[in-house]
């Protein structure tokens, strides 16, 4: 702020989406409108807090400057004093999307291979249970980190609403891990169900492989890693579930000399519908 005002705090919140004013000055603070009339720009009485989206910050975003930085300013009135808030938009370089997509593919292959082998090998089933823990844990970290971004909402509410159907997948994954450790085949099926749901709900998160700034309270690379685990390994667990269903489906062979129930008429009907092939 120029000049500094004791008791007045201005911060950029929600990954640059909004500004927040905390007014402990004893005077009314007005955000000077960006246009001829007042829109979303607040008037902040003493002892209160206001949040708003300012078009002057949005205007600093496009087009992206070659130098990667663009300054902005927002004028205020503190009582009858003029004060300016100065900041800048910083445009970091895009992450290496190909590396993250490769990691996602590797996670899918490893999880799918372990899950399929887990149908006949105990160690592979336990490895699949461990992968399920990573997938569920990755989604939990993503939800907890994303819930840190909203500035004026209850954290627990944001966590629950952000998890959505993932909450059921967390439960299915936990039960699947326990059953798998106990040696029950249905455990792998539940692991596959959890992976399928979590891969589905995080599919759009793969856009973060190309975006430098993500709506996440911690490191952006950590959020990309959670997407690799949840989406990539989740697909592998989904394939595991399909393999379990296939293994649980009984195969009833029909011999050449065994006509289907119903006699010769049924046999002729089956032959006609199948083109004469058996």
Could you report the per-residue pLDDT of 169-221, keeping only the tens digit for each? 999 999 999 999 999 878 999 999 999 999 999 999 999 999 998 999 999 99
Angstrom distances, CA of residue 174 to CA of 192, 195, 240 = 12, 11, 16
Do 54 and 184 fall into the same domain? no
Do 166 and 72 fall into the same domain? no
Instruction: Report yes or no on 1 lying in a domain.
Output: no
Instruction: Report yes or no on 269 lying in a domain.
Output: no
Do 73 and 101 fall into the same domain? no
Do 21 and 129 fall into the same domain? no
Confidence of residue 65 (pLDDT cuts 50, 70, 90): confident
pLDDT of residue 265 exceeding 80: no
Instruction: Count the domains in the chain.
Output: 2
- Taking the CB of residue 152, how many other CB atoms lie within 10 A of it? 10
Do 129 and 220 fall into the same domain? yes
Give tens-digit pLDDT for 14-49: 888 899 999 999 899 999 998 888 889 999 999 999
Do 244 and 111 fall into the same domain? yes
Structural domain range at position 34? 8-90
In this predicted structure, what is the pLDDT of residue 55? 86
Residues 6+ apart with CB under 8 A from 95: 209, 210, 211, 212, 220, 221, 224
Residues 6+ apart with CB under 8 A from 222: 141, 145, 216
Do 113 and 240 fall into the same domain? yes
Confidence of residue 107 (pLDDT cuts 50, 70, 90): very high
Do 121 and 240 fall into the same domain? yes
């Amino acid at each position: 702020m120029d000049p500094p005002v004791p008791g007045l705090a201005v911060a950029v919140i929600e990954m640059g989406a909004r500004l927040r004013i905390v007014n402990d000055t004893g005077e009314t603070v007005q955000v000077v409108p960006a246009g001829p009339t007042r829109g979303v720009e607040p008037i902040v009485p003493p002892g209160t807090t206001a949040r708003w989206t300012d078009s002057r910050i949005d205007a600093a975003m496009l087009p992206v400057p070659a130098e990667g930085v663009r300054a902005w300013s927002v004028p205020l009135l503190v009582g009858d004093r003029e004060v300016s808030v100065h900041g800048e938009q910083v445009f970091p370089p895009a992450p290496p999307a190909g590396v993250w997509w490769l990691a996602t593919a590797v996670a899918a292959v490893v999880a799918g291979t372990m899950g399929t082998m887990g149908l006949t090998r105990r160690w592979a089933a336990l490895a699949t249970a461990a992968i399920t823990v990573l997938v569920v844990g990755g989604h939990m970290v993503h939800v907890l980190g994303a819930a840190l971004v909203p500035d004026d909402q209850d954290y627990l509410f944001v966590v629950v609403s952000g998890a959505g159907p993932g909450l059921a997948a967390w439960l299915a994954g936990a039960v699947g891990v326990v059953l798998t450790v106990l040696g029950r085949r249905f455990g792998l099926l539940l692991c596959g169900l959890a992976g399928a749901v979590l891969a589905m709900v995080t599919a759009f998160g793969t856009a973060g492989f190309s975006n430098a700034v993500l709506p996440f309270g911690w490191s952006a690379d950590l959020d990309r890693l959670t997407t690799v685990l949840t989406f990539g390994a989740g697909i592998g667990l989904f394939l595991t579930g399909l393999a379990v269903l296939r293994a649980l489906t009984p195969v009833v062979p029909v011999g050449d000399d065994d006509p289907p129930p119903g006699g010769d008429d049924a046999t002729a009907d089956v032959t006609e519908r199948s083109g004469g092939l058996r």
